[in-house]
Structure 1
């Protein structure tokens, strides 16, 4: 017969499974410090020896790391999807920049659709809370804070989509995402109306999500990132035209 005696699960195995799930779902993030051994054992309701056993197993699998005198941390298992040299190369070539925007438009459109359909009410409250901070930063004309919150807003949507592969892939690309957001905003802020336009676009995304309008949320995300792409192309063209105009001016004033 295929039956075997049922054995109770070790407490350390239950702790391992719980911490693994928190990392998988993106709740515990790379570099995040775990509570002290005493506090964590109390929260989990296990003995300190059982907790030490679990932490040891997670360190062996590479999910946790320890720092002398500082406790246990979630390991940087994600790293970066691209090397610094490749990131620099992307930033210097228009083709890669616009492919990146196209990739974001496709992926984040899908994430917004999923978030509207599958996100919990609490997920959508998180998105709304980040947007409220964006409005406050906009009122203060805090451009750097707005840019930081822009990235958080988009990541909150991806988190609300509840696709762990998408979540970890985008987390691993966070430097690229953040770099894209900061760069695009810095360029577009040279246009006086752009800050308000961007805020309105994020409001449209948030409104569609709160209404659980999946198609509307996807359309709003795609429209926003298409606007970013067009504004960036226009700015780059204006810079090229200015370069040519300066050459003409130099030529005319040489004589």
Structure 2
């Protein structure tokens, strides 16, 4: 049932995990069915039985298969898509931007606490560098402040010590930062400068808590910043549409 393919320059167990996951996505292997025996997978795919066992252990850890003693290994879930579909084409409305901020709240609040607990002096210096670049952007380089804002949050994720936090943040990219929507929402330059002053103050609080290695303070500062970002964006757009609807 399972046909062999030429190996790629990756670790063999990872190759086999990716291959079996794709078979499940494609319906070659279906939820509820039992995987072929180890010896059959090894023969068909061109791997040793030890590699097959390692791959199955990884699928178990991911919650995709379940091994029942003396019965076999059964497929119990569908693998996620290979790519997280959160590109610019999928985030086009105010509601979608607000939903993304809610995702960030659930993700970054604990990330900040972990960064306060785990960060190194070098990682703290990297976060501070992004903070300074955000406050003093080069006027000759449009978008540099947005990039620095993203780097500030990305470097906090790296300092958390959890590579999955970092990978998710890196994948989302600068679309995490609602600054472009805010810039277009504010009519006057004075309103925009007030907004930037508030954002810088919130970032300073996050950095200070991480510098002091206070997880609870970092958690509170990140929540305040992201929640405020959500409310500022919502109110600015409502005010732009109709001043009578602004809160």
TM-score, structure 1 length as denominator?
A: 0.56
Matches for 1:160-239 after TM superposition, within 5 Å: 160-174=159-173, 176-178=175-177, 180-187=178-185, 190=188, 191=191, 192-239=193-240
Aligned to 2:15: none
Cα distance 1:119–1:175, how it changes in 2: closer, same or farther (>3 A)?
A: same
Tell me by how many angstroms 1:184 deviates: 3.7
- For the residue of structure 1 that corresponds to 2:176, the secondary structure is helix
**Cα pair 1:188 1:194 within 8 Å, conserved:** no
- For the residue of structure 2 that corresponds to 1:212, the secondary structure is coil
Tell me by how many angstroms 1:150 deviates: 0.5
Matches for 1:70-109 after TM superposition, within 5 Å: 81-82=84-85, 84=87, 87-92=88-93, 94-109=94-109
Cα distance 1:145–1:83, how it changes in 2: closer, same or farther (>3 A)?
A: closer
Matches for 1:13-32 after TM superposition, within 5 Å: none
Counterpart CA distance in 2 for 1:107 and 1:177 is 12
**Cα pair 2:134 2:145 within 8 Å, conserved:** yes
Aligned to 1:115: 115
Counterpart CA distance in 1 for 2:244 and 2:219 is 38
- For the residue of structure 2 that corresponds to 1:91, the secondary structure is coil
After superposition, what is the alpha-carbon deviation per residue over 1:11-35, rounded to whole angstroms, capped at 9, x for unaligned?
xxxxx89xxxxxxxxxxxxxxxxxx
Aligned to 1:159: 158
Counterpart CA distance in 1 for 2:197 and 2:124 is 23
- Structure 1 residues 190-199 or 200-209, which shifts more? 190-199
Runs of 4 or more above 6 Å deviation: 140-143
**Cα pair 2:205 2:221 within 8 Å, conserved:** yes
Cα distance 1:168–1:189, how it changes in 2: closer, same or farther (>3 A)?
A: farther
After superposition, what is the alpha-carbon deviation per residue over 1:25-65, rounded to whole angstroms, capped at 9, x for unaligned?
xxxxxxxxxxxxxxxxxxxxxxxxxxxxxxxxxxxxxxxxx
Q: Which ranges of structure 2 fall in alignment gaps of 5 or more residues? A: 1-9, 12-81
Cα distance 1:141–1:231, how it changes in 2: closer, same or farther (>3 A)?
A: farther
Counterpart CA distance in 1 for 2:97 and 2:103 is 10
Alignment RMSD (CA, Å): 3.1
**Cα pair 1:151 1:181 within 8 Å, conserved:** no
Q: Number of aligned residue pairs: give it.
A: 165
2:147 maps to 1:148: yes
